Chain A
Amino acid sequence: MKLSNRITILCSSVLAAVILSVTVALLLFAKNTILSLSNEQVQRKQQTLRTSFSEMANYYAANSDSDAVHTSLVRYCFTRFSDQTSVLMKDGETVVSSVIVDPSAYVQKDGVDYGEAMPVAVTVQGRRLLIAGSSTSIGGKTYDVYVVEDISDVYTRIRRMAWIFAGVSVATIALGAFVVMALVRKSTKPVTALSEAAREIADGAYEKRVAVRTKDEIGALGEDFNRMADAVETKISELEERNERQRLFIGGVTHEFKTPLTGLLLHAGLLRRANLSDDERDASLAHIESQTAWLERLTQNLLKLTTSDDEIELQAVHIPDLLDEVKDGVEPKLNERGATLSVQCETETLTLNPELWRSLLNNLIVNAANAYDADAEEKPITLTVKDKTFSVTDYGRGIPTEAQSRIFEPFFRVDKSRSKKQGGSGLGLALVKAIADAHGASVTVESEEGKGTTVSVLLP
């Protein structure tokens, strides 16, 4: 069952119970009030009747000589005050009466009573009667004075009142239930909206948000929901971006492998099937050797690139020692190109992964050496380490501004043919970036065409 329906039914039930019990209590109270008013009325009426009658009868009939005169005087006196509810009885005999019952049968008389007479309620022949009676002495003789009031009308009125009460309370309950339902619907609407939004997000509409209109718990839930959706959207787009990058990377790798593979295939085919001269055979073999070396470099770098993605081990490294190792390592390549490296170090120890960092510096230095035209007279390269910043500077060709943002992309080459001749795999700077990223370091490039380039890596 829906939450809104359940709350509506619960609230309506409580409302109905409250209204019904209040109504019943009111009804009972009204009934008792009306009945006690009637009682008082009848009591007062009987008292007035008895007192008036008794005074007058004692004045006129107390000293009557004969019973007949006495009785007639008494009757006369009684009728002076009586109405259709009055009854006068003497020794169980009715003297004056215009009612349908014998009141003495219902009222207990314990001797002569001048005091109060509590009315007795009886139902006779479908009529509700209030009977009040008491005795009085007139000329030594005891008379009973009764008032028999028919209060059937009062009961009818009470019943009518009860019906009106019932009608009003049913109407109130219905209205109340309707209002409760509307309120509950209104207050659960944001919950419905949340659930719809959640479904849409689950179906892939990650940009979906809910409108927050209130400042209550549901509003807070809406805000939290939106925050969660933000986080999910960001994460998903990050993943998609990463996926796209990976897809492009794999595309790039495949493309890079195809060129050396084509060369290998063609020359192997020539060697196997063609009738080659000795010189041609030598040239073919040289091509095969260089293409294979290129593939080997490519795979080495790819391996480093993928392993630098994993969690790396950091350790405190004595930087001057590390720089010496780097210098020894790149020396042959620099000599080959006629470049010279000068190193300045103002830092003692830093926390990094020495293997990967050597590879990073090595790549930057070889890259700097390749920035010079082959016929340049001098090819100076400086490596400076200050605080946590490693900078490699050359005074070569420089990088065009529009290419500067792309040089860290795998397989991006500012000048394709030259880079290949120099033995680049197209992965050097991508590797630098990946290693820097793995260390949480930032890489910046400052370059001007014709003047040179400085690449700086700042450890966190």
Chain B
Amino acid sequence: MKNRILVVEDDAAIRDAVLLNLQFADYDAVAFDDGKKAADALECDHAYDLALLDIMLPGMDGFELFGLMEQYSIPVIYMTAKTDSASEIKGLRDGAEDYIVKPFDPLTLMVRIEKVLKRVGKWNAVYRVRDVVVNTETHTVTKDGEPVELQPLEFDVLIALLRHKNMTVSRERLLSEVWGFDYLGETRMVDVKISALRKKLGLEDAIRAIPKLGYRLEER
């Protein structure tokens, strides 16, 4: 089952971009442009694993919406343009799981979402791409139902690519997510793991090398 995420953001450009990013990362996302509308919709359907809330919203602001989220035990990440510490402190003291300051980088948003979902125990551990199924809890990978043996680092690189599915991930980003920052600069290690993954999982055409940018795991 995919994780379900509620997005309330009044700016159409940001809303659409966040939705696309969430869909690419295999989330089921529902978006509203108005706080009041979101609150009304929550009455019938509140089966969300996480809410991404803007603070300055028409109808009902993000802080007001937070009360409802608490009622339905939906963890909240604020997306705010307010950099003043006062609003950050208010958001976090009231129990928001995290906040992200605009303008933000979509990959960072995805990592934060994943961390919050893991922390509250709602993280859906299963990723799928084509005929490959990856279970992060049991650390098992199957291709067409048959188990495939992966080295730990190969597994981590696969997860990083799956986390940003359909998005190009730079070698530097893979290094910092998998190996940590100490290995920055050693991009050749990434290429070795990628070619191993391609061979073992038969994903030669799915894991695409994008010139000058990095690698992209494509669903279609």
Chain A residues within CB distance 8 Å of chain B: 251, 254-255, 258-267, 269-270, 272-276, 280, 283-284, 287-288, 290-291, 415-418, 420
Contacts and interface: CB of A to CB of B under 8 A. Distances in A.
Among B14, B166, B216, the one with the most A-chain Cβ atoms within 10 Å of its Cβ is B14
A420 B56 CA distance: 13
A274 B13 contact: no
30 contacts: A258-B103, A259-B11, A261-B102, A262-B11, A262-B104, A265-B103, A265-B104, A266-B14, A266-B21, A267-B17, A270-B17, A272-B213, A273-B168, A273-B210, A273-B213, A274-B20, A274-B166, A275-B166, A275-B167, A276-B20, A283-B16, A284-B17, A288-B13, A415-B58, A416-B10, A416-B56, A417-B33, A417-B58, A417-B59, A418-B58
A270 B13 contact: no
Contacts of A283: 16
B218 interface: yes
Contacts, number: 94
B17 A259 contact: no
Among B17, B102, B103, B213, the one with the most A-chain Cβ atoms within 10 Å of its Cβ is B17
A255 B81 contact: yes
Nearest to B58: A417
A149 to B, nearest CB: 109
B175 interface: no
B106 A251 contact: no
B10 A287 contact: no
A273 B173 CA distance: 13
Given A273-B216, A274-B24, A259 B81 contact: yes
Nearest to B17: A266
Nearest to A291: B13
Given A264-B103, A266-B13, A266-B17, 8 more contacts: A262-B11, A262-B14, A262-B103, A263-B17, A265-B105, A269-B17, A272-B213, A275-B216
A277 B102 CA distance: 26
A416 B56 CA distance: 9
A280 B24 CA distance: 12
A352 B150 CA distance: 78
Contacts of A416: 10, 56-58
B139 interface: no
A273 B13 contact: no
B48 to A, nearest CB: 21
Given A417-B10, A417-B58, A259 B102 contact: yes
A275 B20 contact: no
B1 interface: no
Contacts of A290: 13
Contacts of B82: 255
Interface string B5-37: 000001111101110110010000000011000
A451 B104 CA distance: 42
Nearest to A417: B58
B102 A287 contact: no
A416 B59 CA distance: 9
Contacts of B11: 259, 262-263, 420
Contacts of B105: 265, 269
A264 B103 CA distance: 9
B83 interface: yes
A420 B220 contact: no
Contacts of B104: 262, 265
Contact of A251 (B24, B84, B167): B84
B58 A266 contact: no
A261 B103 contact: yes
A350 B220 CA distance: 68
Contacts of B33: 417
Nearest to A290: B13
B87 to A, nearest CB: 11
A259 B83 CA distance: 12
A272 B103 CA distance: 17
Contacts of A273: 167-169, 210, 213, 216
Contacts of B59: 417
A259 B21 CA distance: 17
Nearest to B56: A416
Nearest to B104: A262
Given A255-B82, A273-B213, A275-B220, A266 B10 contact: no
Contacts of A291: 13
Interface in B200-219: 210, 213, 216, 218-219
B77 to A, nearest CB: 15
Contacts of A262: 11, 13-14, 81, 102-104
